[in-house]
Every structure is written in structure tokens, then in C-alpha cells.
Amino acid sequence: MSTVFGPIGLRLQTIPAGSIVLRDNRKKSISSERVCSFLLSATPVTEAQFSQLCQGNERSGHNLTHPAVHVSWLEAAAFCNRLSAQEGLPPAYAFAPNGSDAALLEQSCGYRLPTEAEWEFACRAGSNASRYGALDDIAWFADNSGGRTQPVGLKQPNAWGLFDMLGNVWEWCDDIYDPEVYGTYRVFRGGGWADNERGCLASNRRRSHPTYAIDDLGFRVARSQPEHTE
């Protein structure tokens, strides 16, 4: 996979086009989703990177290489828009006047959160396995995290050069979980430092209100790119 370097020290991996089968155990549903080629940050956004673009959110000095946490979905979307502006790209999110919600602008080439399909497709990296390696080798979880986040990029990456896709922190996705039942609740994926083995699977999904923020929930950024045809 090729690597692209973005602003504020971001390293983005080119994820190829493909398809992924998504399962929703609550609804007992299965769907096949097409994924176009896109860019995805190799690690979760760090405390240092978040601080560079979000004034008033200065992070603790000794945790600057750790994933940014206590970040709501709305704050993550706002970060994406600031990151787009930093690179001279159009924003990917249109915010409601009162800032209570945001909608993805489908045609934007700006930075955004990955969709669920993109996230799981990237996590699996061409494999059907629920993990891309032995858990202790690839993830910070309850048995090895010491009860806190750890610096990004220390564990083994998956086959597409992505670190910490499982463990360390859960990661916000763009998708609304189930609007008919949960309203504006958004999805997060991947498991975190406090989860046991069963919490760190490529298929696991959770949800919460877009204002929700906690110490094992972060995010990574994505960008759409033109899909090349043969």
C-alpha cells in the first residue's frame, strides 16, 4: 500500500477498492457493501495532532503520542473540517447552525471520518479473520494496557500498514447507528484499552450520542479519492 503524508504529521495509507460483508447482530441482518479506494490515517489521531488544530483543547504533555480521547463525534467532525482547511480542501461536514449535528457532504474530497464499511474493510486488510494477528502483538487491551491508552504505532500493523485498528481506543465512524431507534447516535469500532479479548474484533460495533466523549474513544481520519479503472 502506498503512503501519503498530510498536514500536522499525518501519515495516510491508500486503501484499495473492494467489498465487505457487514453483519448487524442486533437486527440479524447481513449486507454487502462496495468500498471505493480511499485514504486512511495509519494511526488514530494523537493528542498532539488534535491540540494543533483545536485551540482550547491543549492536551497533557506526557500523553502527546497517545490517541486523542475525550473527543465527541461532533468534535472529531470539526477536527476533520479544520484539517481540510489546513490543506486547502473543502470541508466534508456541514454543521447545523447551533452545532448540534453535522452532515457529510458526499462529494467533498476533504477529510472525514471513515464509514463503517471502510473501517472494517481496512481493519481486515484482505482477510476474513476477526483479527489481523495475535491480539497481544497487535493491540493494547485489558490484559496488557496497564489501564490506560498507550502511544500509537507500537504494536504490529495489519497487512495494509494500519496500526491500532484493534485495541487502544474505540474509533468513531461517520455512520448513524439506527435512526429509527437511536436517533442521531453514531457508530464506533475496534475495541479499546479497557476491553477484554471479545471486545477487540473487526466486527464489533457500539454506538452513542454524537456529544459522547470518554477515555477509551478516539478517531482516525479518512479522505475519498477518485477510483481508478483499468
Provide block-wise average pLDDT over 10 residues at a time, the chain (230 residues): 90 96 81 94 96 71 86 97 96 95 93 98 95 97 98 98 98 95 95 96 95 97 72
What does the pLDDT read at residue 150? 97
Contact predicate 35/45, CB 8 Å: no
- C-beta atoms surrounding 99 within 10 Å: 9
What does the pLDDT read at residue 177? 93
- Determine the distance from the C-alpha atom of residue 117 to the mean position of all C-alpha atoms in its chain, rounded to a whole number: 11
Structural domains present in the chain: 3-224 (3.90.1580.10)
Give the E-state strand segments of 50-195 in sequence order.
93-95, 102-104, 111-112, 170-176, 186-189
d(CA 145, CA 5): 29
d(CA 155, CA 95): 36
C-alpha cell at 164: 491500532
What does the pLDDT read at residue 57? 58
31, burial (CB in 10 Å: exposed 0-12, middle 13-18, buried 19+): exposed
Q: What is the DSSP letter of 67?
A: B
SS3 142: coil
What does the pLDDT read at residue 60? 55
d(CA 6, CA 88): 11
Residue for grid cell 473487526: 202
pTM: 0.94
d(CA 20, CA 35): 7
